[in-house]
Structure 1
């Protein structure tokens, strides 16, 4: 426990074999606004890890800082030991990180298949259209539908599927269940679990704690741009009271 009351879980993980992403002392800024204050986190290969916290805690900014989609950041972001802090976002993406933003970024004038085929392949091993249709049957049914005609759930499926086709094996998902019907949330949960079984690594921001508890190996908790705790999924029951305090749920 640090002097300000925050736990320091990442220090116990230094040197772990299989660590894919190591973030150390990450600071991020929007203009003159200092948003992240020395964030530390680790993601091991093949894990599903969530970022939890109230609105404005810095969760989305953490994903954007990892991807380099910020005007100013400092600290260290290592992907398999390679420093990313000075790389532009397009080069970071080509190292195998796929980012699905909260706003999804579907091209309204293109149909589902055209949206799927638009991003360039960054590595071999991307999922085929057939495999994507097996994961997301809705997208097969809506293959010729324009982006403007998709429901929110179908847009979210398409945003995830589009990244899977590129060959990215490390996925950053920002609020993948926000505003979606329970049946769609359940389907996305199944997809995340399937991807984990196939060896994908996933770091996601999630407000739906109950959903997060069904898919994740570990949960980081953020407050005011700081990382304040890390809780293994197996220890959730023992830490539920503390989580209620953190999240206000």
Structure 2
């Protein structure tokens, strides 16, 4: 198991302890412990079915049964409802992107409720994703996969949330779009956002993230910083089945 040295001086924005989660009788998470320092990008790696997406959904409170501790900037959220959690400054971009097919790009962008005044304006989002400016009046059903992903990320940036949860943001996208998404995440980090993302693309994850958690069978198997993941890349590719 790889050992990683982490900056213990930086207080975590998100701290999870002994998180357990169930879908009905199915026990999916078995005591997850992880931290997401403020201003960092952290990835959850692992094979399909390992429990990565369930971690994000548990943070947002959309999993039917959870136990343990989920603290956002020191405030416990495990017993709060999803809308209360969102108002604390967390935004979730799901794997299916959640684009409304009958609404155009502008309408999709302006739909979410703002939780504070720090959310990006529509113009700022269009500057971040120039492709969307050209498709402003196109319905969601007419967008490419890459355009939908840009719209999904842009939409949560309107809310003013400072912790972004992204589920498989590069899945099924062309290399040029993957690169653009990567540049966007680096830009958002530079602007002070904190990002926790589920990612299957190890090379992409390594290019944007400060640290990584390998999830296996609903548990944290190993955590890596930038140096240790470089040293264990080949072994990780085998573990991930890439």
Task: Classify the TM-score, shorter chain.
Answer: over 0.9
Partner of residue 222, structure 1: 215
Offset of residue 9 of structure 1: 6.7
Aligned residue runs from structure 1 range 3-14, under 5 A: none
The structure-2 alpha-carbon separation of the partners of 1:125 and 1:156, relative to structure 1 and needing over 3 Å to count, comes to same
Do the aligned residues in 1 keep the contact of 2:167 with 2:197 (CA within 8 Å)?
yes
For residues 56-99 of structure 1, give each alpha carbon's deviation from its aligned partner in whole angstroms, at most 9, with x where no partner exists: 11000000011101110000000011001000111000000010
Partner of residue 195, structure 1: 188
Question: Does residue 105 in structure 1 map to residue 95 in structure 2?
Answer: no
Question: Please, what is the CA RMSD of the aligned residues?
Answer: 1.6
Alignment partners' CA distance in 1, 2:238 and 2:204: 18
Q: Name the SS of the counterpart of 2:195 in structure 1.
A: strand
Partner of residue 66, structure 2: 73
For residues 168-209 of structure 1, give each alpha carbon's deviation from its aligned partner in whole angstroms, at most 9, with x where no partner exists: 110000000000011110110010000000000000000011
| One of 80, 83, 91 as aligned partner of 2:76 | 83
Partner of residue 146, structure 1: 139
Question: Does residue 42 in structure 1 map to residue 35 in structure 2?
Answer: yes
Do the aligned residues in 2 keep the contact of 1:8 with 1:228 (CA within 8 Å)?
no
TM superposition outliers: structure 1 runs of 4+ over 3 Å: 6-10
Aligned residue runs from structure 1 range 40-189, under 5 A: 40-189=33-182
Alignment partners' CA distance in 2, 1:208 and 1:138: 23
TM-score normalised by structure 2 residue count = 0.96
For residues 122-168 of structure 1, give each alpha carbon's deviation from its aligned partner in whole angstroms, at most 9, with x where no partner exists: 11211111111111001111000000100111001000000001101
Alignment partners' CA distance in 2, 1:245 and 1:208: 13
TM-score normalised by structure 1 residue count = 0.93
Do the aligned residues in 2 keep the contact of 1:123 with 1:167 (CA within 8 Å)?
yes
Q: Name the SS of the counterpart of 1:236 in structure 2.
A: helix
Partner of residue 240, structure 2: 247
Do the aligned residues in 2 keep the contact of 1:7 with 1:228 (CA within 8 Å)?
no
Alignment partners' CA distance in 2, 1:27 and 1:226: 9
**Structure 1: segments with no counterpart, 5+ residues:** 1-5
Do the aligned residues in 1 keep the contact of 2:3 with 2:228 (CA within 8 Å)?
no
Do the aligned residues in 2 keep the contact of 1:221 with 1:246 (CA within 8 Å)?
no
Moved more, 53-62 or 237-246: 237-246
**Structure 2: segments with no counterpart, 5+ residues:** none
